[in-house]
Amino acid sequence: MAVPFRLSRLPALSRAAVDREEGLRGDTERLRSRWSRARVLPLDSRGRAPVPYDGSSAAGTLALRPATSFGSAPPDDAIFLGTEPGSGTSRGIDYWALTGRDAADGRTVTMPGRFGVPVENVLADGELWVGLREHGALLDDAGAGLFTTALALRNWHRRTRFCAVCGGANELAKFGWVARCTACDREEYPRTDPAVICLVHDDEGVNGERVLLARQPYWPEGGYSVLAGFVEAGESLEGCVVREVAEEVGVDVRDVRYLGSQPWPFPRSIMLGFAARADAAQAVVPAAGEIADARWFTRRQVLAALDGEGELRLPGNSSIARVMLFDWAVA
Ligand SMILES: [Zn+2]
């Protein structure tokens, strides 16, 4: 008997293989003593990270640097990412990030990104500096987790330079995990904005035969995805799903159920994935200015698009939308 579909694997950016070791963030002496064996992930001024590049394809591992290449102790702006699993004692390796470290003498190369739209990478010294959104799914678990956390903190730092209460200048503490006001001592911690993303299918059987997809005005022709939106103040996740689908395409949904989540640091979201059912006889009314088009697609159309065939183009492998659509289509 058919059962409601679920996510069969972790979304790409939900993977991780490093212990965060929250307790070590305040232990400056211990972290300094381990610096000589630590590894550092550099991010450039656009938040890209280096991976080895052989001239035709980019590797699935990050090109981490020996920490000592950045000095004999952690620089003031170093972000502590965590520790090799099972190495919370004196053994093992710590992982750090340093932002704003651009490749010297790099040259820009253009490659296909989301929906096939070109993105700019930088090629320097046999390494390609890639974006998390385009490359995250190609990284191993350790690399995906390190890059995602480093980018999330980097993006938070860029938006938390001043105290939200008194307007004083913030300074970073706990190796990137606390922003402290230099005027009133107020502390702020890394912020994440919740957003729901919902696969809406029709009423046929348990999992439906058609899925409701929409495209935003600036997406390329043929590019569609499931519906998504930010959770509002004072709103539940389930309430947000119902409201967003109604606002964006005028469709009432029910049987909202949770599927899974993944961090989405562009700049600082977490995507909370849901499924819901809807009566496909309802009129689909795209919200003016927000949704360029919305329509029902069959399972066959989605399966073809996942294989790169047909007119429909789906979000990239790093998105939770892709995982949701895959698992729905094969259910
Ligand atoms: Zn303040």
What's the gap in Å between 186 CA and the centre of ligand 1?
A: 5
d(CA 148, CA 214): 27
User: Ligand 1 centroid vs 308 CA: distance in angstroms?
Assistant: 52
CA distance 114 to 59: 19
**From the CA of 190, how far away is ligand 1's center (Å)?**
16
The rounded Å distance from CA 290 to ligand 1 centre is: 37
Number of alpha carbons in the 13 Å side-chain half-sphere of residue 238:
7
**DSSP codes joined into one string, 58-113:** B-SS---EEGGGG-SS--TT-EEEEE-TT--SSSS-EEEEE-S-PPTT-EEEEEE-
- Residue 179: its pLDDT value, please? 98
Q: How confident is the model at residue 85 (pLDDT cuts 50, 70, 90)?
A: confident
Q: Has this prediction a pTM greater than 0.85?
A: yes
Outline which parts of the chain fall under CATH 3.90.79.10: 192-329
Q: Residue 291 C-alpha to ligand 1 middle, in angstroms?
A: 40
Query: Residue 115's pLDDT band (boundaries 50, 70, 90)?
Result: confident
Q: In whole angstroms, what is the distance from residue 116 CA to residue 38 CA?
A: 37
pLDDT digits (tens, 9 = 90+) for 218-250: 999 999 999 999 999 999 999 999 999 999 999
Q: β-pairing, 107-112 with 118-124?
A: antiparallel
Cα(139) to ligand 1 centroid in Å equals 39
How many Å lie between the centroid of ligand 1 and the Cα of residue 162? 8
**192-329 architecture in CATH?**
Alpha-Beta Complex (3.90)
Output the CA torsion sign for 153, 159, 165, 166: positive
